[in-house]
Structure 1
Amino acid sequence: MRRGLPTLFGLLVIFIVLAILVVIQEPRNPSAIQPTAQPTDQTNQGFGDNRVYIGLDASAIQAIRLLDPNSGQSVTFARNPIRLWTLPFIEGVSLDQTAMQDIERTLVIMPYAHQFIPEAQRLTEYGFLSDGRHYFSVLFTMDDGTTHTISIGNPTEFNGRAVYYAVVDEREEMYLIYREPIDFLTQQFLKPPIVS
């Protein structure tokens, strides 16, 4: 028992020396921590000015269908006669109208990073299979009966940003649509904005 006492005393001395060194050590330079800049009125959206649909009016969208072409499951939102968003195939539920406005704005803004003419032999690489299957579809109808379709293929990267390959309506160009709006829409498909 006495042999352990000098060892314990030695550890205590080392601890005290280390504690003194920590206390007398110079404090960090306070200028290394910078204050957070105050927010400005300007926002940096992070997307370019390229929009899939130019001049699209959110208030003219009559119905929206989010579709998983692999399973065939879909969610359809439609405006009722007083212009509120509803789930037409499910009775007795209400939708969060603010969330539906976010969905509308997503369709109106729908930013893309790049467009190009695709090579037919590479469509499978882009995520569009010969049987018509692909990752996700967004279909919407306007008040005048015009129908729009955005078919989403595989994810990829363009200039360091995550994007999806996309076919829009019957256009011959392939679009690289930013991933964030598509991920937002797929979340609305998986969990529609039902409030009651």
Structure 2
Amino acid sequence: MSCRVILIAPAITPSLRRARFDDGDSIEQPEAVALDLPVAGRAVVSPSVRCRETAAALGLDVSTELALSGLDAGRWRGRTLEEVGAAEPEALVQWLSDPGAAPHGGESVREFRARVIEWLDLTGRTTGRTVAVVEPEVVRAVVLHALGAPEAAFWRVDVPPLAATEITGGSGRWNLRLGQVGG
């Protein structure tokens, strides 16, 4: 039996709606959050408010996984992309084009991706199904890793709220499964 990991992006929040670097706000309409998820042997969650609330709305009994924390945006946290672009246009361009850059004083995409892949590699040594409610950037990092895509493609993967992404396989070899989750 192989390892299956189902990644669920959090429900919509005011921050996501305004393209604001996460500022710890709550999800909108938790009663409307519904996905038909298969039974999983393990359920984990990013530590953010929006991921924990999404997991609760889905009825998941989860443990918090610090390795799945969102990308640390440093001093940009709580600011919108538009605000950062107006105040620090060169820094924003550098961050969006150079995976090794962290002009905000937080974490680079490269550092972030390495952290997420380390978690994925450990998870890949297990069998069974894991459901993980995670930040959209965690999904991006996992998708790029599964496809062997370059880290420069990180910002080219759009992850809408409540998107479910499944990968199967194990450490060293992952397959991306599109369409219906579970099965």
TM-score band w.r.t. shorter chain:
under 0.3
**Bigger radius of gyration:** 1
Normalising by structure 2, we get a TM-score of: 0.24
Q: Which has the higher helix share?
A: 2
Normalising by structure 1, we get a TM-score of: 0.23
